[in-house]
Amino acid sequence: MDMRIKEHPLLTFERGKKIHFTFNGQKIEAYEGETIAAALHAAGFKVLKRSIIYSRPRGFFCAIGKCASCMMNVNGVPNVKTCVTLVREEMVVESEPGKGKLKIETRPPLSTIQKMQTQIAVIGAGPAGLSAAVTARKYGAQVLVIDENPHAGGQLVKQTHKFFGSSRERAGTRGTQIARELFAEAKDAVLLQASVIGYYKDESHLLVLAREGNLIEVRAEKVIVAVGASEKMLIFEGNDLPGVYGAGAVQTLMNVYGIRPGNDVLMVGAGNVGLIVSYQLLQAQVNVKAVVEAMPFIGGYHVHAAKIRRCGVPIHTSTSILKAVGEEYVTGAVTVSLDENWNPIPKSEKEYDVDTICLAVGLSPSVELFHQAGCSLSYIPELGGNVPAHNENMETTVEGIYAAGDASGIGEANTAMMEGKIAALSCVDALGVSCDEVVEERKELLKEIDSLRSGSFGERARQGKEKVFALWRGFNE
Ligand SMILES: Cc1cc2nc3c(=O)[nH]c(=O)nc-3n(C[C@H](O)[C@H](O)[C@H](O)COP(=O)(O)OP(=O)(O)OC[C@H]3O[C@@H](n4cnc5c(N)ncnc54)[C@H](O)[C@@H]3O)c2cc1C
Ligand code: FES
């Protein structure tokens, strides 16, 4: 069955040329511009590999290169993240047993390591990274933006709804449009499908990139880490089955590649992300059987909740997922009601006939590169997990390394864009290119971000940021 969306009320999918590749020896049809994992999903393949020890089936979970559950052998190269690797004519893709092995006879020839140099390296081409690049270039700084995905825009490339937030940061515009506008401004400084796999310190900051089988060394005077976040997992029986997807993965499949994630979905989480993605599933003609929310109330905006209720989707609060049903992939889900102490209420189980369980239960900042660079990290629940200690100017505890966007604490695209700009202005300042406009622009942004976080929806982030700023001061005293 072809899972590609034929009609959509908002989106048109311009598919590339029809091509063919093989998966475990079977010929598969795909379109240029699709990733390997997306093309396989469209063709109905949910099981991509097996777990190393117990040989449990594995499908993808994040679809943006963060979790490794889609890694397969591609043209003889093991452990390729197939959710961010574009499919090519006559590619040979194989599920790899165990840890994956590089066969001596297919070992690729050693290539020369390409070397690059820049004043500011920005890791991540999401709203934070792209805004940083546009701002730094405005003041004449040399910038290189690096992103491992085939599309620039980070989370925005799949957000078809009109944004809430600050009018100065494009509220009321669709996320996809914001991504296009930002990319157009920064395009010639962006290197896509290049993954930053290592940070080293020598006389400057040294980043190692992997790009299409080759290594690139980038030396930079300043580094802005704007790598976003990864989706949280919930603990329940069968949570590793293919068909349990993060909400971002579901959005990527539907809104970027025009592929339905399944036919019948149970949504877990009634925050804004769960509610918005439920509506987008309905737009893609996918049946949303119910939304369950463990809290006794709906966390997202009521306007989003009302929209999906009008379409007949029930929202059950004080309810959680108990287990995913299925052997090779999800064939059902069981939910349970919770009492006021969050304990399951006996005999309140309810079974749903679904092929997809979508988890919209929050994000955790991606902090691996900060960790490698020796930045001090602290667990701040208000910001989604471990975050790098930083100050208002987005400086971390390592000289020359700045943080911005979700990687510095979970927020939203508006604050991510502002933080990107602030980090860029701090770099420009530190590079000695400062002028009255830089100082004025940073002052304005700090005022605006403060006012955005002073509303009731920004309160948690404000508290988290205050803790982080205090930690940074502690480290620098
Ligand atoms: C369903 C949904 C709805 C939302 N709605 C809104 C809304 O209405 N309004 C709003 O303001 N916000 C909204 N948000 C939140 C917003 O999308 C995020 O806060 C924002 O995208 C964060 O931006 P960022 O640049 O920090 O990270 P991201 O957008 O996540 O971008 C990070 C980028 O870094 C790249 N990357 C990561 N690691 C590496 C590496 N090692 N090497 C190279 N590249 C790397 C990734 O490929 C990615 O492109 C929503 C989010 C979701 C999921
Ligand atoms: S890394 Fe590919 S699905 Fe997560």
Instruction: Check residue 408 and report its DSSP letter.
Output: G
Query: Quick one: average pLDDT of 122-127?
Result: 97
Please give the residue that has the higher pLDDT: either 401 or 204.
401
- Is the confidence at residue 166, as pLDDT, over 70? no
61 lines ligand 2 (CB under 6 A): yes
Structure confidence at residue 318 (pLDDT): 98
Phi, psi of 118 (to 5 degrees): -155, 160
Structure confidence at residue 169 (pLDDT): 63
Query: Quick one: average pLDDT of 375-398?
Result: 97
| Distance from C-alpha of 177 to C-alpha of 156, rounded to nearest angstrom | 8
Structure confidence at residue 160 (pLDDT): 84
Residue 411 CB contacts under 8 Å (≥ 6 apart), including other chains: 405, 419, 461
What is the overall mean pLDDT for the chain? 93
- Is the confidence at residue 278, as pLDDT, over 70? yes
Task: Find the 82 Cα to ligand 2 centroid distance in Å.
Answer: 7
Structure confidence at residue 305 (pLDDT): 97
Residue 283 CB contacts under 8 Å (≥ 6 apart), including other chains: 8, 9, 10, 160
Query: Quick one: average pLDDT of 56-72?
Result: 92
From the CA of 65, give the closest atom in ligand 2. 1
- Is the confidence at residue 152, as pLDDT, over 90? yes
Structure confidence at residue 360 (pLDDT): 97
Q: Are 85 and 36 in contact (CB under 8 A)?
A: yes
Pocket probe for ligand 2: among 35, 41, 61, the residue whose CB has the most ligand atoms within 8 Å is 61
Query: Quick one: average pLDDT of 422-445?
Result: 92
125 lines ligand 1 (CB under 6 A): yes
In this structure, the residue with its CA closest to atom 1 of ligand 2 is: 65
259 lines ligand 2 (CB under 6 A): no
- Is the confidence at residue 334, as pLDDT, over 70? yes
Structure confidence at residue 108 (pLDDT): 65
User: What 3-state DSSP class applies to 336?
Assistant: strand
Domains of the chain: 18-94 (3.10.20.440), 113-230+364-475 (3.50.50.60), 244-363 (3.50.50.60)
| pLDDT-above-90 percentage for the chain | 81
Give 126-142 pLDDT, tens digit per residue.
999 999 999 999 999 99
Task: Find the 261 Cα to ligand 2 centroid distance in Å.
Answer: 15
- Is the confidence at residue 164, as pLDDT, over 70? no
Query: Quick one: average pLDDT of 452-465?
Result: 85
Pocket probe for ligand 1: among 147, 155, 414, the residue whose CB has the most ligand atoms within 8 Å is 155
Segment holding 441, helix H or strand E? helix 436-452
Phi, psi of 332 (to 5 degrees): -175, 175
Structure confidence at residue 452 (pLDDT): 85
From the CA of 67, give the closest atom in ligand 2. 4
Structure confidence at residue 168 (pLDDT): 65
129 lines ligand 1 (CB under 6 A): yes
